[in-house]
Amino acid sequence: IYVANWKSGNLIVIDKNTLERVKTIAFQPAGATGYSAGDVYRVAAGVSQRLVIEEEDQWIEISLFNSKTESTLNQASVREGGGAFDPTGRYYYHGENNSSGASIIKFDTSGDVFTNLAEVRPEEISSYYGSRTVIVSEDGSRIFWSGVALDQDLNTVWGIDDMIYAASANGRYAFGETAIYDINLRRQVLAMP
């Protein structure tokens, strides 16, 4: 388990079985807006101790990071946001935030390189400025960003018009703040408790 302590610049590594701290990896502490660089604001785990580290600022570098060797393998320049890996740990989805032109990008990270495979700005986004929240279903069939359900190739499945924070393993059910949606039926099916 990786926990970002953004203000101090530490990435804490916790053993998921014992919940004990294994180690702490040092990054740059948080800086002022427009002057921050090398910090650890968002973390997404891939495979083979590969992480994507996202900084917190307007224009950032996302880093493909090896947690075993504590080294940066590659970087890509993007608009601030957040992201998540698909279940294979190969494909990384980055959702841009705080921009009138915000889009979602699918990267292939094989060979420890960021290769941009697709970038779209769905017409159905619920937030004009995008979102830092990207949810990928456990089977990788559905991606949720800024109120839109997408397939793994970033084709729009349904414009939900609600931010999604979790999904069922197969991506059929999406959980917003106050509602549960059936993506196949394209409608709300329950309210959140």
DSSP string, 38-63: S---EEEE-STTEEEEE-SSSEEEEE
Burial 139-167 (b: 16+ CB within 10 A, else e): ebbbbbbbbbbbebebeebbbbebbbeeb
When pLDDT is cut at 50, 70 and 90, the band that residue 127 belongs to is: confident
When pLDDT is cut at 50, 70 and 90, the band that residue 9 belongs to is: very high
Say what the pLDDT of residue 113 is.
97
106 vs 91: CA distance, rounded Å: 7
| Residue range 165-179: mean pLDDT, rounded | 98
| Residue range 85-99: mean pLDDT, rounded | 97
144 vs 151: CA distance, rounded Å: 9
Say what the pLDDT of residue 123 is.
93
50 vs 96: CA distance, rounded Å: 21
pTM of this structure: 0.95
Q: Is the pLDDT of residue 32 over 90?
A: no
When pLDDT is cut at 50, 70 and 90, the band that residue 59 belongs to is: very high
Q: Is the pLDDT of residue 35 over 90?
A: no
Q: Is the pLDDT of residue 75 over 90?
A: yes
